[in-house]
Amino acid sequence: MQIIEISATVFGLLQALLVLYNKRSNWVFYILQMLLLIVFNYNLKLYGDLLNCSIYLIMGIIGLILWNKPKKELPITKCTSKERFVYTAIIIISTFTLYTLLKQTKDPKPLIDAFTTSSSFVATYYMVKRNLDTWILWFINDISYSIQYALLQESAYYLMALNIIWTFMAIASYIKWQKIMIGEKL
């Protein structure tokens, strides 16, 4: 089990470095990481994260396809205030809906699992679309995942460390993508 966690962590670090530089190849490592995390989450009974990673796997394939287009067809954008309100409402509603379902399972941390699952879907959606807001969402999400992994009875220290690193990489990615976005507008 630990080899799966370590491998997923390594693939996650590689993916994060590649996405920081806006590289299409990040999706290959993203897909590999999701396959490993599906197995990992199943074994820990983190059913929200299992669902999350299964959908991520599909989104990773979509990301790989969409990012293959010339960059002029898919520029980096930023959400409007209205869009931020909508995605915040989606996260809140889906968190409490999923929490209600996860309470009925053996999920050890149903509320935080529901939040990380819900916010991850939204963050991944915006990452696929190359939207700058993805990094705000990932920043919050990575902190939440770090807490979730630390609180588990069978603590997942490698994944906790990965999410701590990702928290800082989300800040760096936001800054890098913002520069790219400004350059694309010129």
**What pLDDT band is residue 21 in, cutting at 50, 70 and 90?**
confident
Mean pLDDT value across the chain: 90
- In 3-state terms, what secondary structure has residue 118? helix
For residues 103 and 99, give the distance between their C-alpha atoms in angstroms, rounded to a whole number: 6
What pLDDT does residue 91 have? 98
pLDDT digits 0-9 by tens, 148-179: 888 887 778 888 998 999 999 999 999 999 99
| pTM strictly above 0.75 | yes
What pLDDT does residue 45 have? 83
For residue 133, pLDDT beyond 90 = yes
For residues 42 and 50, give the distance between their C-alpha atoms in angstroms, rounded to a whole number: 6
Q: What is the dihedral of CA 151, 2, 165, 107, to 10 degrees?
A: -30
For residue 20, pLDDT beyond 90 = no
Bridge partner residues of 131 (DSSP): 77
pLDDT digits 0-9 by tens, 49-90: 788 899 999 999 998 988 886 655 678 899 999 999 999 999
Count of CB atoms situated within 10 Å of the CB of 148? 23
What pLDDT does residue 78 have? 94
Here the contacts of 80-87 (C-beta below 8 Å, separation 24 or greater) are 83/133, 84/133, 87/122, 87/126, 87/133, 87/137
For residue 123, pLDDT beyond 60 = yes
Top-confidence residue, 44 or 186: 44
What pLDDT does residue 70 have? 64
Weakest mean pLDDT among 24-28, 45-49, 147-151, 163-167: 45-49
For residues 11 and 31, give the distance between their C-alpha atoms in angstroms, rounded to a whole number: 9
Nearest to 180 by CA among 146, 132, 134, 139: 132
For residues 53 and 43, give the distance between their C-alpha atoms in angstroms, rounded to a whole number: 13
User: How many angstroms separate the Cα of 104 from the Cα of each of 41, 55, 149, 152?
Assistant: 17, 21, 20, 18
